[in-house]
Amino acid sequence: MTDHTESTSTTYAPPEEFAAHANVTAAEYERADEDRLGFWADKARSLLDWETDFTETLDWTNPPFARWFSDGRLNVAANCLDRHVEAGNGDRIAIHFEGEPGDSRGITYAELTAEVKKAANALISLGVSQGDRVAIYMPMIPETVIAMLACARLGAPHSVVFGGFSSDALHSRILDAEARVVITADGGFRRGKPSSLKPAVDAAIEKGGTPVEHVVVVERTGQDVEWFDDRDVAWADLMGEQPDEHTAEAFEAENPLYVLYTSGTTGKPKGILHTSGGYLTQATYSVFATFDLKPEKDVFWCTADVGWVTGHTFIVYGPLSAGATQVIYEGTPDTPDTGRWWDIVQKYGVTILYTAPTAIRTCMKWGDEIPGQYDLSSLRLLGTVGEPINPEAWTWYRSVIGKDRCPVVDTWWQTETGAHMIAPMPGAMATKPGSSQRPLPGISVKVVDDEGNPLKNDEPGLLVIDEPWPAMLRGVYGDPERYKDTYWSRFEGIYFAGDGAKYDEDGDIWFLGRVDDVMNVSGHRLSTTEIESSLVAHDIVAEAAVVGAADATSGQAVVAFAILRGGVERTDDMEETLRAHVGSDIGPIAKPKRVHIVDELPKTRSGKIVRRLLKDLAEDKGVGDSSTLADASVMDVISKQVQGS
Ligand code: PRX
């Protein structure tokens, strides 16, 4: 665990004007505390349109399998689209799309609704219906949102695979979800050039065993792609034939909405399953509460990729259900130059910006004069997510980007939690650099010790969620045992999040990083075991250990230690070969920053690798306590080899 916390008594009260008009005030906590389930039932009814109202808020008779609002019926896509058009807001911009090369498109709610209806009809023409899984492997373009909502409209769960993942990763995810249809693009624009996607889909299908019958291909970059007539169909051709009328059917609240794969402590990614009514309630509430969204006025921008949960909840479902106008940007923050983000804020008058600490630290490195060249006066709220934020980066964000006017909300949540869980309500309290502060109204969490006993001020412990919540995952796709074991077995009936945390003297929560073998690199979750398996699969590697070492920009960096197979001669290019191997096996984000070739790994008498010692070494902290090792001298040998490499 890394302790990013610093004692600080500085807090920042919201501007008076902000507090006076805030969507959430202190009274909301009292209301939720008095009747938690009643609070969520009210939110579900006031924030969403139900075709059939529910009679039971929560069914927790078979824990950990929760059912929220289960006899209610609704259509998620109609809640994100049709209802806004019916309410007279069809002309409101839903998406300001900014392509990396500089092309842009404004799409109104009426237009987006028509496109999603056409796409739903297109999927029907391919035989997709309720319950079928559709894989989506796309760049950050409006068609990605349209494809996801078309699936939601049909009650067909999507499985979005991040475009930076390799064909192998895509293959295993298509297999696990048994997707018969894949929606992709020729490629997208990144760092000033087209990067390709379709070839990875072809390679994934070629690996065999998938049930894929149709691949729908959006043309974005115009690159040449291989075409398989019996399987591939162009998005434009398919959409061109479809009527823009489609009546959304209401599904039960527990109808699966999507599966999203995330790294766990074992090599195999978990398909996190989210359902409809509870997820959409809490996603929509998060947008109104934490981001204080005023749909008629605000311009919201979440910089995440749609391939991660932040993109699912805060590009697609939350903002659209809330009727927001938002920006979607395709590319990287430094293309064509490091002012690109601030240019976008200025161009669209962004009022609420949501990004990750890594991005904030990178912008800090680029220098204050870059954002200083742009008019950022439209901003009124700043958010962060994905990893602990150090107080220095938080304070920089508030002063240089927010000009000391904008509250900063540090939002803690996970793929599994679906929506915000711990974050300050910006109009109801003073914010504090580096702390996520309080659970949202209606959410109950604790910091406990190894035995589950509640902890007090400044005692580091484990974060648990001790009451079910509407957007909670409903399971690990196809693996109920793994769901129980991973999240609910450490403490009986209580959700174990895998994060270290503590309270400060004000009762505010500080996060201390993961307590398991999950790393967090630039706000992206990676499993040490998954990268170790990839390294060992290379024919020069006999054994490998991977750690997440503290890194000033990316939070953590992947550092690997590998033992060569017998008879393999060590060469200078080996480190690069192994880095590239992991990059193509899993994806560029998983590429180790360093691979140290060593002769030994530190192991206990029972043969377990002691990663803690390797982490100390990778962080230049010297050799820590090696008394639990079978052979204590091993660390000196490794340390010399690391210094020499
Ligand atoms: O360790 C926590 C960290 O990210 C993990 C969840 O990762 P993922 O499922 O990929 O979702 C990321 C976006 C929601 C958590 O277990 N994390 C996320 N937000 C924060 C955080 N750590 C500290 N502070 C945060 N605000």
309 Cα: distance to centroid of ligand 1 (angstroms): 10
What length is written for the chain?
645
CB atoms near residue 505 (< 10 Å) = 10
The pLDDT score that the predictor gives to residue 456 is 86
Number of domains in the chain: 1
Residue 17: pLDDT band by 50, 70, 90 thresholds? very high
Both tokens of residue 463?
């974060």
Indicate the residue type of 209: G
Rounded mean pLDDT of 228-241? 97
Q: Residue 143 domain-assigned?
A: no
pLDDT at 4: 47
- pLDDT score of 167 more than 60: yes
Given this model, what pLDDT does residue 199 score? 98
Q: Whose CA is nearest to atom 12 of ligand 1?
A: 386
Over residues 525-547, mean pLDDT: 92
Mutate to test the pocket of ligand 1, among 417, 511, 514 (most ligand atoms within 8 A of CB): 511
CB 379 within 8 A of CB 350: yes
Q: Six-digit token pair at 484? A: 């129980």
Residue type, 577: T
Q: What mean pLDDT comes out for the span 621-638?
A: 84
Tokens of 450: 């190894």
Q: Are 174 and 212 in contact (CB under 8 A)?
A: yes
Please, which residues have CB within 8 angstroms of residue 171's CB and are 6 or more apart in sequence?
203, 204, 205, 207, 210
Percent of the chain with pLDDT strictly greater than 90: 89
If you take atom 23 of ligand 1, which residue's CA is the nearest one?
A: 388
Phi-psi category of residue 308: left, alpha or beta, with phi > 0 → left and psi -120 to 50 → alpha: beta
Strand partners, 137: 184
pLDDT classification of 254: cutoffs 50, 70, 90: very high
Q: Quick check: 3 pLDDT over 50?
A: no
Q: How far is the CA of 338 from the centre of ligand 1 (A)?
A: 26
- Has residue 348 been placed in a domain? no
Nearest residue (by CA) to ligand 1, atom 11, is: 414
Q: How far does residue 523's CA lie from ligand 1's centre (Å)?
A: 7
C-alpha of residue 397 to centroid of ligand 1, in Å: 19
Residue 358's pLDDT is 92
| Residue 8 pLDDT | 53
Instruction: Judge if pTM exceeds 0.85.
Output: yes
Residues with CB under 6 A from ligand 1: 262, 309-310, 385-388, 410-415, 436, 497-499, 511, 514, 520, 525
Of 128 and 266, the structure prediction assigns the larger pLDDT to 128
Cα gap 303→301, rounded to integer Å: 6
Please, which pLDDT band fits residue 381 given cuts at 50, 70 and 90?
A: very high
Q: What is the DSSP string of 67-127?
A: EESTT-EE-HHHHHTHHHIIIIITTSEEEEEE-TTS-EEEEEHHHHHHHHHHHHHHHHHTT
The domain that holds 564 is classified in CATH as 3.30.300.30
Whether 631 has a pLDDT exceeding 90, the answer reads no
Q: Is the pLDDT of residue 183 over 60?
A: yes
Residue 624, in any domain of the structure: yes
Q: What pLDDT shows up at residue 606?
A: 75
- The upper half-sphere exposure of residue 628, i.e. CA atoms within 13 Å in the direction of its Cβ, equals 13
In a domain, 417, yes or no: no
Is 332 a residue whose pLDDT tops 70?
A: yes
* DSSP per-residue string spanning 392-407: HHHHHIIIIITTTTS-
Residue 454 confidence (pLDDT) above 70: yes
Domain assignment present for residue 247? The answer is: no
Per-residue pLDDT tens digits for 56-99: 999 999 999 999 999 999 999 999 999 999 999 999 999 999 99
Q: For ligand 1, what atom is nearest to the CA of residue 384?
A: 26
Q: What is the pLDDT of residues 197-223, one digit of tens each?
A: 999 999 999 999 999 999 999 999 999
pLDDT band at residue 9 using 50, 70 and 90 as cut-offs:
low
Report the nearest atom of ligand 1 relative to the CA of 498.
16
Region 313-341 average pLDDT: 98
Reduced to 3 DSSP states, what percent helix, strand and coil does the chain have, rounded to the nearest 5? Answer: 30, 25, 45
pLDDT at 267 over 80: no
Tell me the three state secondary structure of residue 422: strand
Q: How many CA atoms lie within 13 A of 436 on its CB side?
A: 28
> How far, in Å, is the centroid of ligand 1 from the Cα of 319?
20
Quick check: 568 pLDDT over 50? yes
State yes or no: pLDDT of 7 exceeds 60.
no
Amino acid at 340: R
* Region 582-608 average pLDDT: 91
For residues 459-468, average pLDDT: 96
pLDDT for 226 beyond 90? yes
pLDDT band at 625 (very low <50, low <70, confident <90, very high): confident
- Quickly list DSSP for 502-554: EE-TTS-EEEEEESSSEEEETTEEEEHHHHHHHHHTSTTEEEEEEEEEEETTT
Please name which of 397, 323, 320 lies closest in space to residue 359, comparing C-alpha atoms: 397
pLDDT at 546: 95
The single residue listed with the structure tokens 């509430």 is 285
Return the residue whose CA atom lies nearest to atom 18 of ligand 1: 386
> Could you tell me if residue 592 is inside a domain?
yes
- Greater confidence (542 vs 264) lies with 542
Cis peptide bond N-terminal to 319, omega within 30:
no
Closest-CA residue to 394 (of 406, 410, 378, 380): 410
List binding-site positions for Mg(2+): 536, 538, 541
306: CA distance to ligand 1 center in Å? 16
CA atoms within 13 A on the CB side of 523: 25
Asked if 546 contacts 517 with a C-beta cutoff of 8 angstroms, the reply is no
Residue 371's CB is within 10 A of a number of other CB atoms, namely 20
The C-alpha atoms of residue 141 and residue 146 are separated, in whole angstroms, by: 9
Quick one: which atom of ligand 1 is closest to the CA of 411?
Answer: 26
Task: Tell me the sheet residues that pair with 98.
Answer: 104, 329
Q: Containing H/E element for 627?
A: none
Q: Nearest 5°: phi and psi at 49?
A: -100, 125
Helix, strand or coil, per DSSP, at residue 132: coil
The answer as to whether 542 is a domain residue is yes
Domain that holds residue 571: 522-644
In ligand 1, which atom is closest to the CA atom of 497?
16
Residue 89 lies in a domain: no
Most informative mutation of 432, 437, 525 for ligand 1 (most atoms within 8 A of CB): 525
Distance 180 CA to ligand 1 centre (A): 31
Average pLDDT, the chain: 95
pLDDT in tens, 271-288: 999 999 999 999 999 999
Higher pLDDT, 610 or 19: 19
Tell me how far apart the alpha carbons of residues 69 and 67 are, in angstroms, rounded to a whole number: 7
Binding-site residues for CoA sit at: 190-193, 310, 522
Cα(230) to ligand 1 centroid in Å equals 42
Task: Report the share of the chain in percent with pLDDT over 70.
Answer: 99
